[in-house]
Amino acid sequence: MPSQAKLPVLQIDAFADEPFTGNPAAVCLPDTEPPADWMHRVATEMNLSETAFAWPSGDGYGLRWFTPVDEVDLCGHATLATAHALWETRRLGNDKPAIFQTRSGTLTARQNDQLIEMDFPAEPAAEFTPPKDLAESLGSEILWCGQNRMDILVQIANEQAIRNLAPDLACLARLGTRGVIVTAISENGSADFVSRFFCPSLGIDEDPVTGSAHCCLAPFWAERIGCNELVGFQASRRGGFVRCTLAGDRVLLGGQAVTILSGEMIAPPPGT
């Protein structure tokens, strides 16, 4: 029986400076774009919040992201993990930027001292009336509510209220958005604001650290704090810091990454 082709695959903790913190992502590095159905099956098998697929394309890489349930338009932590994987496997030199063509346009990542810095679109939320029963579903009073093309953003009273949240996930899954970002001002000096992100509609009850949510959080807090350089802490069980710089209609997101494992997986059969 002929041997089956294999592809490199890594599992990387993103927005983390030590193993088993931040947000884990699987990164698969095929030579060409795989079939979408196969990518979806792999993501379901990996059963992480995101599995990324990156292949050489033009002067950079094509990049797609899948949760165990569906493909998404934008993912920060899996992009950070993919850039880290390209440098670690020496597909890119450390001095070269990672350039990705995605469903959200061209995204870039560069090494900046100890951080990987990504250039993402800003995704500000427009204020709107909270959906019925949202406050009850969250178990918290809402101070402000808005929505962008992906998520609902909710500001609540304080950091302790963020940490105490135990929302009704079934209700949040019925809102018709990717997820719900809940945020408050930070009460200690290590960060400017804190947040949590719930996206049960995509098979992820709570995402540990969400880069794309900070594309919304950065413009929100920059306006209120009066500073375009901010540090966010996502107060999930694993937790992680995201450095944010608002630059017009772009947001620079900075974080670290740690490889947890690397190996090979079976490639899709030819012609699939």
Beta bridge pairs of residue 111: 116
Q: How far apart are CA 101 and CA 63, in angstroms?
A: 6
Helix/strand/coil for 10: strand
What letter would DSSP give residue 202? G
Helices (H), 47-97: 76-88
CB burial of residue 130 (10 Å; 0-12, 13-18, 19+)? middle
Nearest to 253 by CA among 162, 103, 118: 118
Q: How far apart are CA 34 and CA 15, in angstroms?
A: 27
CA atoms within 13 A on the CB side of 40: 9
Number of H helices, E strands in the chain: 6, 18
Are 72 and 178 in contact, with CB atoms under 8 Å apart? yes
**Catalytic residue flag (residue 50):** yes
Q: How far apart are CA 138 and CA 169, in angstroms?
A: 9
Name the active-site residue from 18, 45, 50, 71: 50
Residues designated catalytic: 50
